[in-house]
A and B are shown apart, each in its own frame.
Chain A
Amino acid sequence: MKRLTAWSALLFCLFFWQLSAQAIEQIDIRIDQWATEQLAAEGFDLALGLTPSGIQLNATAKTLRLPAPINIIKDVQLSCDKTQWLASQMRCESGQLGFNHAQLGQQTLSFSLTALPDASHYIFDVSGLKLAGSDISLAATITASDWNVRVDATGLHLEKIAPWLPLWLDETQLATLSNWDYHGQLDIKATLHGMDSHVQQLTASWTLTELNFSNDSGTQVAELLTGQGDVSGEKTNNGWQWQSAIHLDGGQSYVEPVFIDFQTNPTKLTTTGYISSDLAVLDLPDMTIEQSGLLTADLQLAMRNKTLSKLNITLQQADFESFYAVWLQPFTLGTAVDKLTPSGKLAATFELQDEQYLFDISMDNVSIDDQNQRFQIEAVNGHLGWSSSEQPASSDIQWQNAQVYAIDLGQAAIKAQSKNNGLKLTEQVSLPILDGRLLINAFSLKQRSDQHIDWTFDGLLTPISMERLSDALQWPRLHGKLSGVIPNVSYKQQQLKIDGALQMKVFDGTTVIRDLRMTTPLGALPQLYANIDITDLDLELLTRTFDVGRITGKLTGYVHELRLSNWQPVQFKARLATPENNPGKRRISQKAVDNLTQIGGGAGLISRSFLRFFDDFSYQKLGLSCTLTNDTCDMAGIEEAEQGYYIVKGGGGLPPWINVVGYTRRVDWSELIERLKAVQDSSGPVIQ
Chain B
Amino acid sequence: MRLFKWLTGTVSGLMLVSCVTINIYFPAAAAEKAADRIIEDVWGPETQPQQVPDEEEQNQSFILPHKDIAASLFNWLIPQAQAAQANININSPAINALQAQMKARHDNLKPYYDNGAIGLTNNGLITIHDAKAISLKDRNKVNGLVAEENKDRKALYAEIARANGHPEWQDDIQDTFAKRWISNAAKGWWYQQGGSWKQK
**Which residues of A line the B interface, CB within 8 A?**
214, 217-219, 221, 223, 252-254, 256-257, 259, 261, 329-330, 333-334, 338-339, 520, 523-525, 527, 563, 565-566, 568, 570-571, 629-631, 670
Q: Is the CB of A565 within 8 A of B92?
A: yes
Q: How far is the CA of A257 from the CA of B136 in the complex (A)?
A: 10
- Which residue of B has the minimal Cβ distance to A527? B162
A-B contact pairs, 23 of them (CB 8 A): A218-B130, A219-B131, A253-B136, A256-B139, A259-B136, A261-B137, A330-B143, A333-B140, A333-B144, A334-B148, A334-B150, A525-B155, A525-B156, A525-B159, A565-B93, A565-B162, A630-B89, A630-B92, A630-B163, A630-B164, A630-B165, A631-B89, A631-B91
- Which residue of B has the minimal Cβ distance to A570? B92
Q: Which of B97, B130, B132, B136 contacts A566 (CB 8 A)?
A: B97
List, in ascending order, chain A residues with CB within 8 A of B147's CB.
333-334, 338
- Which residue of B has the minimal Cβ distance to A564? B94
B39 within 8 A of A: no
Q: Is the CB of A524 within 8 A of B98?
A: yes
List, in ascending order, chain A residues with CB within 8 A of B139's CB.
254, 256-257, 259
- Which residue of B has the minimal Cβ distance to A254? B136
User: DSSP class of B's interface residues: helix, strand, loop or mixed?
Assistant: helix
Q: Is the CB of B92 within 8 A of A218?
A: no
Q: How far is the CA of A256 from the CA of B139 in the complex (A)?
A: 9
- Which residue of A has the minimal Cβ distance to B139? A254
Please give the number of chain B residues whose Cβ is less than 8 angstroms from any Cβ of chain A in the complex.
30
Q: Is the CB of A565 within 8 A of B94?
A: yes
List, in ascending order, chain A residues with CB within 8 A of B136's CB.
221, 223, 252-254, 259
B103 within 8 A of A: no
B151 within 8 A of A: yes
Q: Which of B134-178 contact A (CB under 8 A)?
A: 136-137, 139-140, 143-144, 147-148, 150-152, 154-156, 158-159, 162-165
Q: Is the CB of B144 within 8 A of A570?
A: no
On whether A252 and B94 interact (CB within 8 A), knowing A330-B143, A334-B148, A630-B164, the answer reads no
List, in ascending order, chain A residues with CB within 8 A of B154's CB.
524
Q: Which of A218, A223, A565, A629 contacts B159 (CB 8 A)?
A: A565
Q: Is the CB of A570 within 8 A of B148?
A: no
Q: Is the CB of B140 within 8 A of A563?
A: no
Q: How far is the CA of A252 from the CA of B155 in the complex (A)?
A: 36
Q: Is the CB of A218 within 8 A of B132?
A: yes
The minimal Cβ–Cβ distance linking B119 to chain A, given in whole angstroms, is 14
Q: Is the CB of B151 within 8 A of A568?
A: no
Q: How far is the CA of A568 from the CA of B96 in the complex (A)?
A: 12
Q: Which of B68-125 contact A (CB under 8 A)?
A: 89, 91-94, 97-98
List, in ascending order, chain B residues with CB within 8 A of A254's CB.
136, 139
Q: Is the CB of B140 within 8 A of A330?
A: yes
List, in ascending order, chain B residues with CB within 8 A of A330's CB.
140, 143
- Residue of B91, B97, B136 with most chain A CB atoms under a 10 A cut-off: B136
Q: Is the CB of B94 within 8 A of A568?
A: yes
The minimal Cβ–Cβ distance linking B43 to chain A, given in whole angstroms, is 19
List, in ascending order, chain A residues with CB within 8 A of B156's CB.
525
Q: How far is the CA of A338 from the CA of B98 in the complex (A)?
A: 18
Given contacts A252-B137, A524-B98, A524-B154, 19 further A-B pairs with CB under 8 A are A214-B132, A252-B136, A257-B143, A333-B140, A333-B147, A339-B144, A523-B151, A524-B152, A525-B94, A525-B98, A525-B155, A525-B158, A525-B159, A565-B159, A565-B162, A566-B97, A570-B93, A630-B165, A631-B163
Q: Is the CB of B131 within 8 A of A524?
A: no
On whether A566 and B93 interact (CB within 8 A), knowing A334-B150, A525-B158, the answer reads yes
The minimal Cβ–Cβ distance linking B81 to chain A, given in whole angstroms, is 17
List, in ascending order, chain B residues with CB within 8 A of A563's CB.
162
List, in ascending order, chain B residues with CB within 8 A of A218's CB.
130-132
List, in ascending order, chain B residues with CB within 8 A of A565's CB.
92-94, 159, 162-163
The minimal Cβ–Cβ distance linking B102 to chain A, given in whole angstroms, is 10
Q: How far is the CA of A338 from the CA of B147 in the complex (A)?
A: 10
Q: How far is the CA of A416 from the CA of B131 in the complex (A)?
A: 43
Q: How far is the CA of A570 from the CA of B130 in the complex (A)?
A: 40
List, in ascending order, chain B residues with CB within 8 A of A333's CB.
140, 143-144, 147
List, in ascending order, chain A residues with CB within 8 A of B148's CB.
334, 524
List, in ascending order, chain A residues with CB within 8 A of B162's CB.
527, 563, 565, 570-571
Q: Is the CB of A629 within 8 A of B132?
A: no
List, in ascending order, chain B residues with CB within 8 A of A570's CB.
92-94, 162-163
The minimal Cβ–Cβ distance linking A336 to chain B, given in whole angstroms, is 10
- Which residue of A has the minimal Cβ distance to B88? A630
Q: Is the CB of B94 within 8 A of A566?
A: yes
- Which residue of B has the minimal Cβ distance to A630? B89
Q: How far is the CA of A219 from the CA of B134 in the complex (A)?
A: 11
- Residue of A219, A524, A630, A670 with most chain B CB atoms under a 10 A cut-off: A524
- Which residue of B has the minimal Cβ distance to A251? B136
List, in ascending order, chain A residues with CB within 8 A of B131's CB.
217-219
